[in-house]
Structure formats: structure tokens, C-alpha cells
Chain A
Amino acid sequence: MQQFTVFMDIESSRSYIDELYSSDAVKVMEALVTLKNSVIGSNRQKSSVISQGVVPRLLQLMSEESLDPNIRLEATITIGSLAKGTPENIESLIEKGTATALVEMLKTVPLGSKLAEAALCALRSIFSHKPAPVDALPADMRLLTRLTQIAREDSQEARTSVIRVLAVWCSGTVEQEALTCAGACSAAAAMLVVPPRSVPSPSRLVPALELLAAMCFKNPNVAQVALNTRHGDKSIPELLMCLVSRDKPLVVALKAAKCLTFLQRAGALPADDSRIVFGALPCLARLCTKENTEDIRASAAEVLAYLTEVDTSLQRLAAISNHLMSSLADIVNCQSAAAKQGAFKCFASLGANDEDIRKMIIETHGLMVHVVNGLNNPDPCVSLAAVRCLHSLSRSVQQLRTTFQDHAVWKPLMQLLNDSPGPELLNVGSSTLCNLLLEFSPAKEPMLDQGAVEMLCNLTKMSDPALRLNGIWALMNMAFQAEQKVKQRILCCLGTEQMFRLLGDSDTRVIMKMLGLLRNLLSTRQHIDAIMSEYSSQVMQLVRQAVIVVLEGSYPAEVKEQALCILGNIGDGEKSKDLIMANEDVLRKLVDYLAHPESKLQEAALFVAGNLVWRGEAGAAARQQRLADLGVLRALKLLRASHHAAHLHDKVKTALAQFNEFT
């Protein structure tokens, strides 16, 4: 029986589908109505009709201006009905150019007509599909002005539809600016008014709030326009302030708080604005509480993370608002990836700057376990958010020593970074690694065993300067007061060639850290001599390169200081002294820098000279002779006489005292 009906459906549909192509308007009309009635509410029928290839004909009937308006309307309604079908249905509609046809139609149909409303309704359905055919709607000012006019004046249904379409469409700076010029801000503002004593309707408010948020996102110009747009006696922020109150539907309050957040982050509102401090922030903190549904809490946490990303005072305020910490910890426990991601991001923002807040986060019951679990989450968004959270927390020295060690957070982190991570994860993850590798961090040892050195060396070869910086920075941290075998491992693994490359890096910060690494590698006597004996030629080459390139180049004084410090370190080693002494251009540079106007460079040069002339060691006399020949002695005497270098006099005297045979 069932099969028989299906058969009948197709058979009977044949006839009226044929009549769609008839030239007789009455027959076409009848066929359209039958078609419309058959597809309403039935995805199976929609798919069947689309597969029979009627869409082009419908589009034609819809767009032909010479046709009876009623036929056009029925065709449009049918298209709209088809657009409410399965994602596959919508995709095939888009393929056949439905979105473009609808947009074309909107350029000409009279405003306020049923046809316009039906077209907008269909377009809205198509735009709610992901990805939306945004290209179908060009950033054409005349068209946009027309659309915003509809959004201001037309029927409620049409206004809501057009605003929803525009909200989806507005995805970049060009669209944001174009919509602003077309007056979309005031159109949205008009939709935000809730008449007194009426129940606010989310279906009307939410599209307008979404449009406003999409327009203001990271766009200072648009945010400024929105700030100054008024409807009636209220500006947009004031209208939003009314919508974040507790008696409004949660989704409305959430979206309104999001708009206020975007206005603030785009610089239109200061962080201490009362509408942020007493409006958006408490609203978001309240929406994060346990009483609300998971998706509301997830979105609220995400928006709150964005709101508190940079401003310390907002971070402090959020941290004490409505038990936010335990609310977030609870959201982390939720099943959905979006919830976990939102909560981790929010923790990351809150703990970005303030040590007390970090402490509060860590002390939140069972949170660290969740962070570690989050690192292992198969969803890349969740693990990225967890790494961000970890990164914020890793700025705390205390946490590095205690909690992080207890939970061995480095394990999952190393695993993530070794497991072909995305660029963003790599960036945040390696920054976190940098912090974990600080000298006092007990995680250093086990991380070495996990191949941290190799991974970091690879990072220094990346094309992204931020990654190179993180890599070399982490290596520098690792080499600080490290054991000799660690240093040797770094030297081996990084290789002199790579070191040369890094010394010539386009990013000064990378050079700085590279010099720092060299300095850390070449510290303490025993290490210097051991390393020098093993790698003398390469290291000396490196040092020459470093010193010559850096000292001659136009680098900031800090970089040059680093270079001189390396020389100083080498000059401290017993055998390595000779390596410097054999290098005349390095020694000449030293003389130059003793007379350098920058006092910290003078000081650094003095440190090198002091180490080289130290009397108690073998061959000191010969070195002193050589240095005196090159003018070091004279330079030191000048320095002693100089008034500008008064603070260095003690060190100068010590150095000169070594030369006593010559003075």
C-alpha cells in the first residue's frame, strides 16, 4: 500500500510538473499551487521535486517581470519552501543560482509588496545554510541602501528577514563599511526598541543584535558610528543596556552583551564605561551560571573571554562577579566542545595579567585536571583553548613550581606540539613551553627527555618569525644555568649553520635571543672551556660572526650589549681567552666600544677587557702587552679621566690595577 502511494505521487506529479512549462497562465498557476502545496512540510517531496529539475523553471517564473505578479509570487513562495528543506536541497538551489536570482529580483520589486516579502523570506532561508552564498549579494551601494530601507520601513516579517540576511552577509571590513554607509546601524537600532509593557520578542531582536555585532566586530569606524546612532531618545548603547537586564529572554541578553562587548573592543566604549561594567559584564557572568542551558553558558563564556582579553580591571571585576570561577569550572565539565572551549578561553583571558586571579583559577576545585584533559581533547578547538589557558597560567612563577609540576602539564603539551599542530596552536604552545622552560621550572628535565630540544630547534626553522622567536627564546631559557650536557645537546642539535642564520634574522628579537642563547651556553668557566675545546672552530666563528655582524650593524644597544657580554664570557674561560686574543678585529672593536658614548656598552666592553687582562692566569702578561699595544690601556685611562663614566671608575681602576707593570 505504502509503495503504491509513492508510485501514485510520482505519477500524479508528472502531469502538473509538465503543466509548469505550459504557456497558458492559468494552467501554470494551477500547477504552481499544486506544487507549492505538495512540497510544504515534506522534505521527501522537496528532494523529489528538485531532482525533477523544476528549479530553473521556477526561477524563470519568479524573475520574469512580464508575468502575472501572482504567478511570480507563487513561484517565489515555492522556492522559499524548497529552501526550508535539507542542506542538500539548499545546496542544489544555490548551485542553480537561486540566491543570485533572488537578489536580482530584490533590486526591482516594489517595496512593501508580498513578492518582496516572499523573496526575502526565501533568501533568509538560503542564507541560514552554511556556507551562505555571500557572493550572490554584491557590496553594491544602491542595492544595500534598498535593503536597509526595507529593514527600516517594511513589514515586520520582511524587516526581520532582511536583517538576518545582512547579518550573515556581513563578514569583513568591506561589508561592514558598506552596510554602515547604507544606514544599517539606524535600521538595527530601530529594531532594538522594546515598547514599554510588551514582552520582548527574541525573533525580532536577535537578528538585529547579530547584525549589529557583525558590523562592529573589530571595526573602530563602524563602532563609532553605532555609538552615535540614536533611535528616539536613546543611543544604541543605551538600547543595548535595556536589553541586558535580567527580565529579558536569555538569548536577547546574551546577544546584547555581545554587541556591547564588540563596541568596547572596537574602541567605541572605554573599559570603565558603566554600560560595560554594570551592563555587559554582569550579564555575561550571570549567563555563565549553572541555571542556564549549556549553549547559552558556552556562548557567554566565549564573549566574556573576548571582553576581558586585554583589560586588567575588567579581568579583576569579572573574577569576583557572581562566582564566575566556579561557573566556568562547571562549564568545563559540560560535554560539548563549544562549552569547554569557551570556558578555557575565558580562564585564559582572566589569568592573562593578574597573579591573584591566576591563583584563584588554580585554586578552583579540580580545574588543573580539566586543563590537562582539555589538552588531550580530540577536538583541536578545545585543545587550543586549553593551551591558551595554560599559557596564561604559566606566567605565574609559583604555578610553574607547584601545580604545573604536580599535574605534569608538560607531557600532554609536548605531545600536542609533536603531533603536527596547527600554526595557532604551535604559536601559543611554544610560548607556553618558553615559560615552562624557565630556569626555576622543575619541568625542564623531563621535557628534555621528551625531545624538547629537537622540537625547539625545528621551531627556529619556521617561516613565521613569532615561532622562530618562541623556539630560540625557549632554547635560551633552557640553556640558562643548565648542565653541560644540555648545552652540548643544544649546540649539536641546533648546529652552527642554523645559528648563523638566526644571527642574521630579519627580526631583531630573534637575534637578541640568539645572542642570549650563546651567552647562556658560554657561561661558567668550566663549561666555556669544555665547549671551546670541543667546538672551538665553529664557536669562535660564530662568536666572530656575532660580534662583527652585530657590533658593526645598526642594531639597538641592547643587542650589542649582548654581543659584548658573550665576549666577556669567553674571556673568562682559561683556554678560550687565547681564541679572542688571536682575533685582532674583535680586539679593535673592543677598543672602540670602550670609548662608546652609550654607557652600558662601555660597561660591557670594560667587562670583556677586565676578563682578558686578569693577572692571576697563565699568559696574562703577554695578553696585557698585546692589549696595551692595541690601545686598550689608553682607552682605559681615558675612561678613568672621563666624568661621564664616573660610575664605572671602580671597575676601571680594577682593570688598570692588572696592568701595573705598564702604568
Chain B
Amino acid sequence: MKLRKSEMAAIGSGRGTMDSQNQVQSDTVDRLKLLYPNVNEEETPLPRAWSTKDKFSYIGLSQNNLRVHYKGGTQGPGRRPHLPYLHLRLWMYRHGKTHRDAASVRATHPIPAACGLYYFEVRIVSKGRDGYMGIGLSAHGVNMNRLPGWDKHSYGYHGDDGHSFCSSGTGQPYGPTFTTGDVIGCGVNLVDNTCFYTKNGHHLGIAFRGLPPNLYPTVGLQTPGEVVDTNFGQQPFVFDIEDMLKELRARTRVAIDEFPLPDEQGQWQQVLHRMVSTYLVHHGYCSTAQAFSRATGQPIDEDIASIKNRQRVSKLVLAGRVGEAVETTRRLWPGLLERDPDLLFLLKCRQFVEMVNGTDCEASEDGANGVATSVISHTGRPHKRSNGVAADAAEEGGGRDVDMAPAANGDHEDEALPLVKGMPGVTASVAALLPDRFEADASSQRASVERMLAFGRELYAMSQKLSQDLYHKSMLEDAFSLLAYSNPWDSPVGWQLEPVRREAVCDALNSAILESQGMQWSSPVEACVSHARSLLRRMSRAALGACAFADLSALLAR
């Protein structure tokens, strides 16, 4: 089984497999995701290491760019000369005396506002000669030939005097000094736009207020021998940051709960009734909607018969009988699916999955007539009816689809491992494996496998006609990957078989029907939730850190 899996991956249909493996790995290792769940790293990556580019040349990096040391320059005033030991000591003694010797490094990325509360820790491995070290934040483009804090949009806490530097060459008394062995933490509260430090796990109090957005974690060193290690969150912190996160969550919750509303917007009862009623109608809970409407006096805007029709189709999809659902849709709302090939493809894909699941078996037989008249009849019909062996099917399919399936680059004549034409990556041997699951009559198994493969071919053909976007491609690949396993339910792509996956398909179909009837394609409740969600995204883009603590699902769960 293992082998087969890697086979699949090698051929290229195993995208889902690869992904889920990565998922498992990162769940155990990536503490950052747990710390900052609301950060979308595709949009705003988290700082995970020091930048090899965004640093002054006197700075050296090692240990996955997490360790920073002062190396001095190869030229200019900070250049470390080749000298005998004693002279070198003398050089080191003199070097780093002036501010010109200071050097900083920024992290790879700025702190995303959606972190809400960002925190990193620096352990002083060695204070070097004088311990002129600064830990803090700076904006993009701030001079790196400086310790953090000396320039505009730069903020730092310095080890030699314990002062804080807020965009100024003169520091303010802030905290204790720090030296070899100390762990200094720097926290940024993106709700209040403040910054605090910790020393060995002890909160030293707020150092800066009114911080600008998009600051980078920054450290600066000035004298030889200074070495610091950094923990951007990959390791547990010395300071209990979770405690502060809990506080901020509770605070945001209270702020939301206690947000004052003008009177005319505060008529909750009415608004809620309307939302519930429209939700019920939208999803076709017909009798419940009627009962609710009687109790609350909410009008129903849609014809009851129409609701019931939608309900019927939804039930079919939710029961896994997608083929029937497609037929019913065609009958009740002619032209709908023809106008929306993407939706049809989604439904067909689901139908394929349900065939693997065994839920759509009878449906496909019952609905065969319907299928025969469908868009795919020109290719589908003969295969649907064909009871031939796999090799036949392959030949036939190959004959028709070869132009459309350049991806299927297998050797046609190779009998040992013939490829199933029209379904890239699926070998004919799959068919031989499938009967394991159907322990009934061998020929009928074979027939149903045949049907499935034929259906798959149609599906592939259909996908080729659609605009080739990643979404469709991966959906199809995921569905086909199911065939690679003797027990698809237990496979890495087995999630597709879960009944809960039908809901998205059901929703898409329902929305399309509603839209075709000139009604809202989504219910006000969902609109409200997705509105809230997109507001949170907007907040994150607008650098409003509170978005990290507005836990939408927890708020809805109440």
C-alpha cells in the first residue's frame, strides 16, 4: 500500500497526499500557527528568522539564521584585521567603541497585525566585550548601521544601561541592564500599539506607545564577541505569553458585548426573527420555516412549492444521491446546469466520489437515461453501456480522448501496467484492486468498477473543456486519487468520502437555484457571518490587531 502511494505521488496525482502529510507534520511542530491562528501567512508571512539580506555587514548569522553575532566588517572602520593574538585583543578592545561600529539585523518579515499580540525572545549567549546590545523593532529601510532605537521608526532596549530608546539617540531609564545568560523578550500589542519587554520571564512594563504598523523584530550589536540566540516562537517561551493572550481575548469579548448601539439599530428581536426565518427558507427547511413564520409573523418571500423543490434536491445531495439530484435539477430548472458548467462539474465530481463511496450506485443506474441525454452523452453513453473489460475501455477511451489527454503519457502497449486512458495517473491495475471491497458477485463488481472508470473518463473530458484552473484540477485529482487505495475510507484522501463534504456541494447547488430564481444566493445569516469574517480580514490588512482576538466561532456559539 505504501508503495502504491508513492507511485501515485510520483505520477503527480498525489497532491492531496503530500499536503496532508505536510499538515500532520506542521501541526506537531509549528507552534507559531497556534500562537497566531488568525494570521494568513500567504498574505502576511510571520517572521521566522533573521534576514540574510536586511542586515549590516558586521552582523553574522548562523543556526538557521536564528543566531546573531558581531563579526565586524571586512573593510572600512569595522574591518577585523589579521593580527597576532595580542594585537587582535588590542584591536578588539578599541573596536566597537563608537556608534559607527553598531550593526543591526531585521527579521525576514514585518509583524502581521493579525497576530494581535506578537512576542519574541532573545537569549544573550555572550555579552562580548561591552554588552552594547539592543533589542527591539524597526521599520523597513531604517539605517542598519545603528542599534535599534536611535533612528525614526526604530525602538530598542539596551543591555548596557537598561534604557529604552524611542526613535532617539538619548535613552530613557526603563529597566534593568541585561547580560550573558539573560533572556530578553519583546512583545508588541497590536491592539493598543504598545511594546513591552520581559527579562527572564518577568514583565518589565510598557516601553513604547503609539507604535507605527509593519515593524520588524530587530537586534543590534556593537562590540566583538556579542552573540544572541532568538526564539520567534518555535520553542516555548520563558515568559507566559498565553496569560496575556487570554486577557486580550477576554477584553475583546467584553468590548464586543458592551459595544453601545443606537436605539434604532438595537431592535434585536425583529432582526433576529428575520434572520432565522430567511435562514430556514434559504436552506429549504420548509415546515420549520412555516411554523416559525406563524409564530413570529415573519412573511415568507418565496413560493412554498419552490421551497419544497429545493428541499428535495438538497436532500438528494445530502444523501449522496448526486446523480438523481442532477436529474431532478434538470427537470425542475431546465437550463440551469447548462448555463453553469462549473457547478455541473462540481456535482459530477461529487457523484464520482459518491460512486466510490457506494452511495450513488443505484442512482447512476436509475439515472442512466437522464445521463444519456446529458451534455456528456456524446462520450458517456457508449461507456455507460459497455460491459467490456478494462483493456477494452482503455482502448476505446484512448481512441476518443487521446488529444484531450496529453497528460496521460503512459505506454499504450505496456500490458504490465496499462494506464486508464482519460484518467491521468490512474493505472488499470486499480481496477484489479477494487473488487476487494465488493465481495459480492465478481461480474457485477467489475461492471460497477467499469461504470465508475467510464464516468471518470467523462469527468476528465469535461474538465478539459472548462477553463483550466487549479481549483478544478485539484478537485479532480483528489477524487481520482481515491481509486489508488484498496480502502479509500482509510486513505489520506478519505476525507472526501465523509458525508459532511456533501454540504458544500449542496449549498452551491441551492445558491445557484435561488440565484436563477432571482433571489439572494446566500442567506442573511451567512451574509452576516461572512461579512464579519471579511471585516476581520480588512482589520488585519488595516493593521488593527484586535482582529486576532475576535473569535467569531466562539461568539456565534453562544
Interface residues of A (CB under 8 A from B): 245-247, 277-278, 282, 285-286, 289, 317, 320-324, 363
Contacts of A286 in B (CB 8 A): 203
Minimum CB–CB distance from A455 to chain B (whole Å) comes to 39
Given A278-B201, A278-B240, A323-B206 contact (CB < 8 Å):
yes
The smallest C-beta distance from B119 to any residue of chain A, in angstroms, reads: 14
> Within 8 Å CB of B204, what residues of A?
320-323
Which residues of chain A are near B246, meaning CB under 8 Å?
Answer: 245-247
Q: In this complex, what residue of A is CB-closest to B554?
A: A197
Question: Cβ of A282 and Cβ of B202 under 8 Å apart?
Answer: yes
Tell me if A245 and B243 are in contact (CB < 8 A): yes
Contact A322 B203 (CB under 8 A): yes
Q: Knowing A320-B175, A320-B176 are in contact, say whether A246-B243 is a contact too (CB < 8 A).
A: yes
CA gap between A317 and B201 in the complex, in Å: 11
Q: Which residues on the B side are within 8 Å of A245 (C-beta)?
A: 243, 246-247
B244 in the interface (beta carbon within 8 A) = yes
- With a 10 A CB-CB cut-off, give which of B175, B202, B246 has the most chain A CB atoms: B202
Q: Which of B176, B199, B204, B205 has the most CB of A within 10 A?
A: B205
Task: Check: B250 CB closer than 8 A to any chain A CB.
Answer: yes
Find out whether the CB atom of A317 lies under 8 angstroms from the CB atom of B243: no
Question: Which B residue sits closest to A281, measured CB to CB?
Answer: B202
By a CB distance below 8 angstroms, the chain A residues around B199 are: 320
* Residues on B with beta carbons closer than 8 Å to the beta carbon of A246: 243-244, 246-247
B168-227 with Cβ < 8 A to chain A: 173, 175-176, 199, 201-206
Task: Report which residue of A277, A282, A363 has the largest number of chain B beta carbons within 10 angstroms of its beta carbon.
Answer: A282
The distance from the CB of B14 to the nearest CB of chain A, in whole angstroms, is 40
Q: How many chain B residues touch A (Cβ–Cβ < 8 Å)?
A: 17
Q: Shortest beta-carbon distance, B68 to chain A, in Å?
A: 25
- Which residues of chain B come closer than 8 Å to A277, judged between CB atoms? 202
| Cα distance, A286 to B203, chains bound together (Å) | 9
B473 / chain A contacts, CB cutoff of 8 Å: none
Please name all residues of chain B whose beta carbon is closer than 8 Å to the beta carbon of A285 when the two chains form the complex: 203
For window 230-256 of chain B, which residues contact chain A by CB distance below 8 Å? 240, 243-244, 246-247, 249-250
Let me know if B249 and A282 touch, CB within 8 A: no
Minimum Cβ distance to chain B for residue A639 (Å): 53
A-B residue pairs in contact (CB < 8 Å), sample of 29: A245-B243, A245-B246, A245-B247, A246-B243, A246-B244, A246-B246, A247-B246, A247-B247, A247-B250, A278-B201, A278-B202, A278-B240, A282-B202, A282-B203, A285-B203, A286-B203, A289-B205, A317-B202, A320-B175, A320-B176, A320-B199, A320-B202, A321-B202, A321-B205, A322-B205, A323-B204, A323-B205, A323-B206, A363-B173
Could you tell me the distance between the alpha carbons of A644 and B409 in the complex, rounded to whole angstroms?
107
Q: Is the CB of A247 within 8 A of B249?
A: yes
Closest CB-CB distance, A660 to chain B, in whole Å?
Answer: 61
Chain A residues near B205: list those with CB within 8 A.
Answer: 289, 321-324
Q: Mark B37-70, 1 if CB is under 8 A from A, else 0.
A: 0000000000000000000000000000000000
The 10 closest A-B pairs by CB, nearest first: A323-B205, A246-B247, A247-B246, A322-B205, A247-B250, A320-B176, A246-B243, A247-B247, A245-B243, A322-B203
> Which residues of A sit under 8 angstroms from B249, Cβ to Cβ?
247
A567 vs B240: C-alpha distance when bound (angstroms):
65
**20 more CB-based (< 8 A) A-B contacts, given A320-B176, A323-B204, A363-B173:** A245-B243, A246-B243, A246-B246, A247-B243, A247-B249, A277-B202, A278-B240, A282-B203, A286-B203, A289-B205, A317-B202, A320-B175, A320-B199, A320-B202, A320-B204, A321-B202, A321-B204, A321-B205, A322-B203, A323-B205
Interface on B for A, CB 8 Å cutoff?
Answer: 173, 175-176, 199, 201-206, 240, 243-244, 246-247, 249-250
Give complex CA distance A46, B175 in Å: 58
A321 to B250, CA, bound (A): 23
Question: Which residues of A have CB within 8 Å of B201?
Answer: 278
Cβ of A324: which chain B residues have Cβ within 8 Å of it? Answer: 205
Report the separation of the CA atoms of residues A135 and B203 in the bound assembly, to the nearest whole angstrom: 46
Which B residues touch A323, using CB under 8 A?
204-206
Q: How far is the CB of B134 from chain A (nearest CB, A)?
A: 18
What is the CA–CA distance of A289 and B204 in the complex, to the nearest angstrom?
12
C-alpha gap A323/B240 in the complex (Å): 18
Q: Which residue of A lies closest to B249 (CB)?
A: A247
Give Cα distance in the complex from A322 to B244, angstroms: 14
B247 CB contacts on chain A under 8 angstroms: 245-247
Residues of B within 8 A of A321 (CB): 202-205
Bound Cα distance A322, B243 (Å): 15
| Assembled-state Cα–Cα distance A317/B199 (Å) | 10
Closest B residue to A199 by beta carbon equals: B250
In the bound complex, CA of A289 to CA of B194 (Å): 15
Q: How far is the CB of B183 from chain A (nearest CB, A)?
A: 13
Residues of B within 8 A of A278 (CB): 201-202, 240
CA of A322 to CA of B174, assembled, Å:
10
Distance in Å from the Cβ of B98 to the closest Cβ of chain A? Answer: 29
| Min distance, Cβ B538 to any Cβ of chain A, angstroms | 27
Give the Cβ gap from B313 to chain A, nearest Cβ, in Å. Answer: 39
Within the complex, what minimum Cβ distance (angstroms) separates A202 from chain B? Answer: 14
Q: Measured between alpha carbons, how far is A246 from B203 in the docked complex, in Å?
A: 13
* Nearest opposing residue in chain B for A247, CB measure: B246
- Nearest B residue to A285 via CB reads B203
A282 to B204, CA, bound (A): 10
The CA of A289 and the CA of B199, in the complex, are separated in Å by: 18
Question: In the complex, what's the smallest C-beta–C-beta distance from B337 to chain A, in angstroms?
Answer: 46
Contacts of B240 in A (CB 8 A): 278
Write the chain A residue with the least CB distance to B247: A246
Closest beta carbon of chain B to A530's beta carbon, Å: 52
Q: How far is the CA of A153 from the CA of B206 in the complex (A)?
A: 45
Determine how close the nearest CB of chain B comes to the CB of A61; give it in whole angstroms: 46
Q: How far is the CB of A86 from chain B (nearest CB, A)?
A: 34
* Residues on B with beta carbons closer than 8 Å to the beta carbon of A247: 243, 246-247, 249-250
| Cα–Cα distance between A322 and B194 once the two chains are bound (Å) | 14
* Chain A residues within an 8 Å CB radius of B243: 245-247
Shortest Cβ distance from B248 into chain A, in angstroms? 9
Smallest beta-carbon distance B192→chain A, Å:
11
Q: Which among A247, A321, A324, A363 has the highest number of chain B CB atoms within 10 Å?
A: A247
B555 vs chain A, min Cβ distance (A):
14
A320, B199: Cα distance in complex, Å: 9
A317 — which chain B residues lie within 8 A by C-beta?
A: 202
Bound CA–CA A322/B176 (angstroms): 11
How many angstroms from the CA of A323 to the CA of B204 in the assembled complex? 6
Which residues of the other chain, A, contact B202 by a CB distance below 8 angstroms?
A: 277-278, 282, 317, 320-321
A282 — which chain B residues lie within 8 A by C-beta? 202-203
> What are the residues of chain A within 8 A of B250 when measuring CB–CB?
247
Report Cα–Cα, A282/B201, bound state, in Å: 10
Distance in Å from the Cβ of A434 to the closest Cβ of chain B?
32
**Within the assembled complex, what's the spacing in Å between the Cα atoms of A289 and B196?**
14
Q: Which residue of B lies closest to A283 (CB)?
A: B243
Alpha-carbon gap, A473 to B206, bound state (A):
45
Measured CA separation A321–B204 after assembly (Å): 5
Residues of chain A within 8 A (CB-CB) of B173 are 363
Q: How far is the CB of B254 from chain A (nearest CB, A)?
A: 11
Q: Output the nearest chain A residue to B201 by Cβ-Cβ distance.
A: A278
CA distance A393 to B240 in the complex (A): 34
With A and B bound together, what is the CA distance between A247 and B201 in angstroms?
Answer: 18
- B207 nearest CB across to chain A (Å): 9
Complex CA distance for A323 and B247, rounded to whole angstroms? 19
Q: For residue B244, which residues in chain A have a CB less than 8 angstroms away from its CB?
A: 246
Residues of B with C-beta under 8 A to A320: 175-176, 199, 202, 204
What residue of chain B has the Cβ atom nearest to residue A244's Cβ? B243
Task: Give the complex CA separation of A245 and B249 in angstroms.
Answer: 13
Instruction: Give A322 to B202 CA distance when docked, in angstroms.
Output: 8
Interchain nearest-CB distance for A224 vs B (Å): 27
- In the complex, what distance in Å separates the CA atom of A167 from the CA atom of B175? 40
Q: Which residue of B lies closest to A356 (CB)?
A: B176
In the complex, chain A residues whose CB is within 8 Å of the CB of B206: 323
Tell me the minimal C-beta distance from A282 to chain B in angstroms.
Answer: 6
**Alpha-carbon distance between A323 and B202 when the two chains are bound, in angstroms:** 11
Give the shortest distance, in Å, between A225 (CB) and chain B (any CB). 28
CB distance from B378 to the nearest CB of A (A): 58
